[in-house]
Amino acid sequence: MSRHLLARAILVVALLGIWSCAPNLAVQKKQEEASRNLGEAYYQRGNYTAALREFLKAESLYADDPFLQNDLGLAYKAKKQPDLAIKHFNKALKLKPDYAPAINNLGTAYLEKGDWDTAITYFKSVSKNLLYTTPHLPLANLGWAYYNKKEYHLAVKYYREALDLKPKFIVAMRGLGLTYMAMGKLDAAAEILESAVKDYPDADLLYIDLGKLYTESGEEEKALAAYQKVIELAPGSELAAKASQAIQDIKRYRY
């Protein structure tokens, strides 16, 4: 969200706060919506603490908003609090049982907890919702859950279904590549990951994956180049430190 829109959201919240000292329910709902919109602006900018603060303020004004409860779940998940996230996603679904994004988000919270089977239940439920506009999301999430369960053939199945719906979906492309690597299908993994970096040349995680793949397949020069790309894309990051260590390891064993 642009700085202009964020400033506008802040102004709306301020004006509504002045509007009435003893607001009726309609005014409370408007104030809640304004704070929710501001929280969403902060969330989109990656300021999860400020977002959570606004969402909690909105909840104190009017809690029976399923979209707000979903936002609270997202904020808590971003703050690495999956149990609190689950609580609010469930509140959203109590208010709006057919709220497909909240069902998918609930599944992702269980992914965070490593509860693959519960996550799968929610993803399968929402993936069958014909009115859900982004079914590639739960399908890719199913792929990740089955990947972690080491049920690789099912992971491939769902990642491919996600890519059938959205061919350039980076999450599914990366997941499929990792799954092929785990299955020992290194050529297939290289094909999908190399295709992915052509579409997303600034995705540092993809280069880490390629570095591991090339190392495993004995292509050390390609591995070194992939790891070096990570350092160029994300200097000073934890990922860059991992890439630097991998480069040292390759050179150490080489010489």
Question: How many folded domains does the chain comprise?
Answer: 2
171, part of any domain:
no
147-174: average pLDDT: 98
- Cα distance between residue 62 and residue 207, in whole Å: 45
pLDDT tens sequence across 8-63? 655 555 555 544 544 588 888 999 999 999 999 999 999 999 999 999 999 999 99
pLDDT top residue among 131 and 154:
154
Whether pLDDT at 232 is above 50: yes
54 lies in the same domain as 84: no
217-233: average pLDDT: 96
Whether pLDDT at 1 is above 60: no
230, part of any domain:
no
53 lies in the same domain as 13: yes
59 lies in the same domain as 33: yes
94 lies in the same domain as 55: no
97 lies in the same domain as 120: yes
Confidence band, pLDDT 50/70/90 cuts, at residue 162: very high
The answer to whether 69 and 80 are in contact (CB under 8 A) is: no
What residue numbers bound the domain in which 9 lies?
A: 1-63
Q: Both ends of the chain: CA-CA distance in Å?
A: 50
58 lies in the same domain as 116: no
Whether pLDDT at 5 is above 80: no
98, part of any domain:
yes
The answer to whether 246 and 229 are in contact (CB under 8 A) is: no
Radius of gyration, alpha carbons of the chain: 22
42, part of any domain:
yes
229, part of any domain:
no
58 lies in the same domain as 9: yes
Q: What confidence score (pLDDT) does residue 16 get?
A: 52
197, part of any domain:
no
Measured at the CA of 106, the angle between CA 101 and CA 111, to 5 degrees, comes to: 125
Tell me which of 111, 130, 149 is where a domain ends.
130
Tell me which of 63, 88, 104 is where a domain ends.
63
1 lies in the same domain as 59: yes
10 lies in the same domain as 41: yes
pLDDT tens sequence across 66-116? 999 999 999 999 999 999 999 999 999 999 999 999 999 999 999 999 999
68, part of any domain:
no
1 lies in the same domain as 57: yes
Tell me which of 90, 107, 130 is where a domain ends.
130
Confidence band, pLDDT 50/70/90 cuts, at residue 253: confident
Q: Please tell me the pTM assigned to this model.
A: 0.86
- Cα distance between residue 191 and residue 166, in whole Å: 18
15, part of any domain:
yes
